[in-house]
Every structure is written in C-alpha cells, then in structure tokens.
Structure 1
Amino acid sequence: MAEAQLFVSQDEFTCSLCLDTLTDPVTIPCGHNFCLKCLSNCWDQSQVCSCPQCRHTFTTRPELNRNTLLNEVTKKLKKMTLSSPPPQNYAGPGDVECDFCTGKKFRAVKSCLTCMASYCQTHLQPHYEVATLKHHNLVDTDRNLKEKLCEKHQKSLEIFCKTDDSCICMMCVVTGHKIMKCQLETEREEKQVSDV
C-alpha cells in the first residue's frame, strides 16, 4: 500500500509571539497555539487574559496544558531540520523572496501583476482557489516588480506611450496624459492625410 506524504511548512508550527518553532506548545480555547513560556509571560504582564492572535478575551485565565500531539510533531520537525540540509524552499542570494512569509522567507515561485507581489507555493495557493484571485495575472518571479509600478498612481504600467517613449498606467490615460492626447492627434492627422 502506498504511503501518503504530508507536506507541511515549518511556518505552520511557529509561535506568533517568539516567531520560532513551538516549544512546549499549548492550545488555548479559541484554538490558537503558543509556546507555554511565551503565553505565560504574555499573560503575566497583562491585566486581561486574551489570545495574542485573535484577541478573544477569557473571563478566567485558562489552565495551560501542553498539547502532547503537537509537541511530538514539533520535536520531529526540529530533528528533521537539524539532520537535513537547509531546504531548497528558502530564498537564497539571487532568489526572489515571498512578500508574505514572516520570519525566514521562502523562495517565490510566482509574481502577481495584479497584486504587485511575489508568492511562495504556500501563499500562492489562494490565487488558485479563491474566485476573485483566479483572474489575477500570474507570471514567473520578477525581482523588479516594484519598477513596473507607475510612480504617480502606484498602478501597473500597461501602456507604452510612443511620444514619451515610456510606459504609463491606465490611470495616466484616464487622468489625461498630455503626451497621449498629442499622439492621438498626430495619428488622426496622419489618417486624414492618407484618406485624401
């Protein structure tokens, strides 16, 4: 029988307080996980017991018990990362980094010209699943993505102006790019001359 493979990212087992792999993980009633020490320190310094992630407030301080299953998973994950060479997913010199990874950045696999951002495989997934994102323009990773934005409108440069010999965005056209008007006037005159 074939054994199923499970692909998980180390980011999925990261404490949002210390931004490191969970140590002695605890799960609080709202479902979020933290390191026992991090959450205890957070609550010791606050008058209110609330989830540092979703801000759900608890009337009484919940008893914190180590999540044994999650603890075993994080121990195995730590062993794997120590015994294996650094994964090829992490961005190295010359790679385009994912704009949405926190902590150590993964290598981007695609750039979105609609969002003007680059995504690793994990963060790109919504572009394949969410209806509104499916229509976005995905391209191979591009380290010069920000240079493809109009400085004035922060929109993608989609139109080339021959007269100006530069790229402009749709907002430039809508707001009356003067060079564009000149170009259209010239083309109209050329058309009239050729028709005579």
Structure 2
Amino acid sequence: MDCWDQSQECSCPQCRHTFTTRHELNRNTMLNEVFKKLKKTTLSFPPHQNYVGPGDVECDFCTGKKFRAVKSCLTCPASYCQTHLQPHYEGDALKHHKLVDPDRNLKEKLCEKHQKSLEIFCKTDDSCICMMCVVIEHNGHKMVELETEREEKQKQLGETLSDIKRGLVEREKTLKETRRAMEEMKVSGIGRQHFISKRG
C-alpha cells in the first residue's frame, strides 16, 4: 500500500503488470490456496493441549512427547491419540475392532490364557471369558454377553442399595420414636418426683 504513496507507477509482484492509477486491491488467490492447505495440515495434527497430562491415558504409538489417547482398542489391545486412531476408521481390516473410552487397564480386559478381549460371562463358573475359552473350556456352560451380566448385576446392586436405604429409614424412625418415649418418661418422671416432694 505504501508503494502508491512513493511512486507514480507500480507493478504487481506476481504478474508484473504495471499500474499508473491506484486500484482496489484483490485477494491473492494462489497465496490463499497455499494458506488453506497449510491450515488443514496444521489442524490434522493434535494441538498442544492434547499432550498427555496427569490422569490421562497416553497413546501407545506416539514417539517422543506422548499425546493423550482418545480411544482404546480391545481387539489390538492398545490406546490411540486422534492421529493414530484414524486407520481404525478408514481401514477395512480395523473397522470392526471394539473401541472403548481410553483405558489404562487394558490388560485386565484381556483373557490371561489367550490374550483376547473378555466378551462373555460364564454363569456356571462365575467368570469373564473370551471367545476362545467358550469353544475350548466352557462348552455346555450357561453363558451371557458380558454387557448383559453387567446390567443385571447393576440392577441387583440398585435393589440391594434400595433395601439398605429402606432399612436405614426404618431404623431412624424407630430411633426417633425411642428418643421421644425416653423424653416423655423423663418429663413424667420429673413431674412425679416434684408432686411427691410437694406432698411430703
């Protein structure tokens, strides 16, 4: 812009066309495209605040400074930041893997014998098992999906908590009634003693 103030004739730095009158400046389309591509590239990398912090699960595939995991895969088993998770969304081989919220205790969700994810609950043996265990060791046992068993146990726990709360309310009520009766006994006992002392 200062160029117009210093010279009568100016030229475009890109196309070298010369101008003697001041034109309205337009957007540099080539530079704008470069900027858009640069912005997209920058956004595809996780920003600074996605570095792993206290209490976060770290990405198992980041080298150097680790990024925070956004998902854990029970099939792999590993935890992934946004960048390293992309193949699970794009690749046909990984699309059917079981993704869960980031979990630092993935080993606890794996069968110790087969290193496969625990997906079944064996009611006969009261244990969590993988699909290999179903075929090899638990044939003929009563089994349900792990999620179904978890929901059932949660329901039972809720009912138990409700029973405990009801019991506490009843005990509190009994305690209040006992205290009230004791207060009444004290008052009537004091009144009787006062009456006896006046007669004597």
TM-score by length of 2: 0.48
Bigger helix share: 2
TM-score by length of 1: 0.49
Higher RCO, 1 vs 2 (CA within 8 Å, ≥6 residues apart): 1
